[in-house]
Amino acid sequence: MPSYLIAILIRELNNVEIANGVHMLELDFRGHIINPTLLWDHEMAVLIDTGFPGQIEELRMTMKKVGVSLDMVKVVILTHQDIDHIGSLPEILQECGSNVQVYAHELDKPYIQGELPLLKDGHIKNPPKGRVDNTLIDGQELAFCGGIRVIHTPGHTPGHISLYLRRSKTLVAGDSMYSVNGKLEGIHEPTTPDVEEARLSLQKYQDDNIESVICYHGGLSKGRMNDQIRAL
Ligand SMILES: [Zn+2]
């Protein structure tokens, strides 16, 4: 089989179903794979993080593969302000308008809205920006798609949040950790301005029974996740 076909097959397999109505998406940005998460039920879909600027078409195609159209997305949750997470928010808002509600932690909201320069990507010309309709706080419960618990996990950015998906016992870790080949590697220190705070944030994960972890960079890890996190 030609190698490009093998590559396509591998890519197809990486778009992972975690549970019924929970998918880890895969987007390719110049060879770097990033992993937004998509949840849905019969009423709506929730998109967690939006990829880099200009990835809306790729996002649309990836979502279509799992049978969810962009107009089903009623909620976008941003784990934090970095450009690879908020990049396609402007296009999503342009297309979905007031049909979509955007959620983020209040400490990252002014950066996402363009009131302050992005902490790490402030040098970029015309950075993406969009409105945040609802701010989230630590411990908040969202009633979407089986229930989502918000965990404020600062360190990577001040308003970084992680999301615990109750029904599937999945932790959407954002950039609080990264993984390689299914193994959690812990904090990505080069992109984490406050490593000490990030370490304290990881301790918060012990409150939940975690069966799967989705790292935005590195993808899915499964198994005895609480043990793996404790050992980091
Ligand atoms: Zn990132």
Dihedral sign computed on CA atoms, order 108, 110, 114, 120: negative
- For residue 122, the model assigns a pLDDT of 86
Q: Where are the chain's structural domains?
A: 3-231
Q: What's the Cα-to-Cα distance from 35 to each of 15, 48, 49, 94, 127, rounded to whole Å?
A: 9, 9, 8, 22, 21
CA of 220 to the centre of ligand 1 (A): 15
CA of 217 to the centre of ligand 1 (A): 6
CA of 194 to the centre of ligand 1 (A): 15
- For residue 15, the model assigns a pLDDT of 80
CA of 85 to the centre of ligand 1 (A): 6
Kindly report the backbone phi and psi dihedral angles of residue 73, in degrees, each rounded to the nearest multiple of 5, phi listed first.
-75, 115
**CATH of span 3-231:** 3.60.15.10
Closest-CA residue to 172 (of 195, 192, 194, 142): 142
Cα separation, 179 vs 1, in Å, equals: 30
Closest-CA residue to 171 (of 59, 29, 22, 28): 22
- For residue 14, the model assigns a pLDDT of 61
Which residues are within 5 Å of ligand 1 (an ion), measured at CB? 82, 84, 175, 216
Cα separation, 103 vs 182, in Å, equals: 28
Low-confidence stretches of the chain (pLDDT < 50) are 8, 10-11, 13
- For residue 13, the model assigns a pLDDT of 44
CA of 2 to the centre of ligand 1 (A): 32
Cα separation, 163 vs 150, in Å, equals: 5
CA of 1 to the centre of ligand 1 (A): 34
- For residue 124, the model assigns a pLDDT of 87
CA of 175 to the centre of ligand 1 (A): 5
CA of 82 to the centre of ligand 1 (A): 6
